[in-house]
Chain A
Amino acid sequence: DAGVIQSPRHEVTEMGQEVTLRCKPISGHNSLFWYRQTMMRGLELLIYFNNNVPIDDSGMPEDRFSAKMPNASFSTLKIQPSEPRDSAVYFCASSLGRRSSYEQYFGPGTRLTVT
């Protein structure tokens, strides 16, 4: 298995632009997580899906952020409009179940820079 795939690996954009981050989970996994990593706040859970349904989006910073999972093999995290404070590394992870007893497998991350 190729593991969790994220694209792009790096994204540089100007403030106000729309940014879309993509994730392909491991085949057969039914839970998908989006995290954001910054120096100041560490690793934060933004949202997670179980069987393509958003379960908890309380970590999504504000309405500028949205996430979708149209099918079991694809998810997107969109920021519109982007701001410099959104600069971070965004990780996608997948697992066989929503509980932490199931190991989460992380993708390599997308490093987002908003200028």
Chain B
Amino acid sequence: AQSVTQPDIHITVSEGASLELRCNYSYGATPYLFWYVQSPGQGLQLLLKYFSGDTLVQGIKGFEAEFKRSQSSFNLRKPSVHWSDAAEYFCAVEGSQGNLIFGKGTKLSVKP
């Protein structure tokens, strides 16, 4: 069965520092992968998605993610974090029914 692991429950970075959030997936074929962000008290918003092609995908708000099949990873990155990026981030993979299977999430705190 498909699954997603986000190893880091909580990460704190300083404003202006770079960010990398880890995501590992379990899937037999080429996965469809997603990153969503959830701000406090809000629903989830899609940041970016990977279906095929270029393994480096660009998303909204300056985020990017790189698909690495050999490592079964789809890590999210941002070169310079802003205070407004403080939120919870969810990696997801498409399940066999076309639904989304989410990781447990990584909460990002940003220090001034």
Contact = CB atoms under 8 A, between A and B. Distances in A.
Interface of A: 4, 33, 42-45, 48, 55-56, 91, 93, 98-101, 103-109
B90 interface: yes
B41 A108 contact: yes
Interface residues of B, number: 23
A100 B105 contact: no
A12 to B, nearest CB: 16
A104 B46 CA distance: 8
B42 interface: yes
B43 A109 contact: yes
A108 to B, nearest CB: 5
Q: Which 9 A-B pairs rank lowest in CB-CB distance, beginning with the nearest?
A: A106-B43, A100-B94, A99-B98, A43-B102, A42-B104, A106-B44, A108-B43, A98-B98, A103-B46
Contacts of A98: 98
A101 to B, nearest CB: 7
A45 B100 contact: yes
B51 interface: yes
11 contacts: A42-B102, A43-B102, A45-B99, A55-B97, A99-B98, A100-B32, A100-B95, A101-B32, A101-B51, A103-B46, A106-B44
Given A91-B44, A108-B41, A100 B98 contact: yes
A4 B104 contact: no
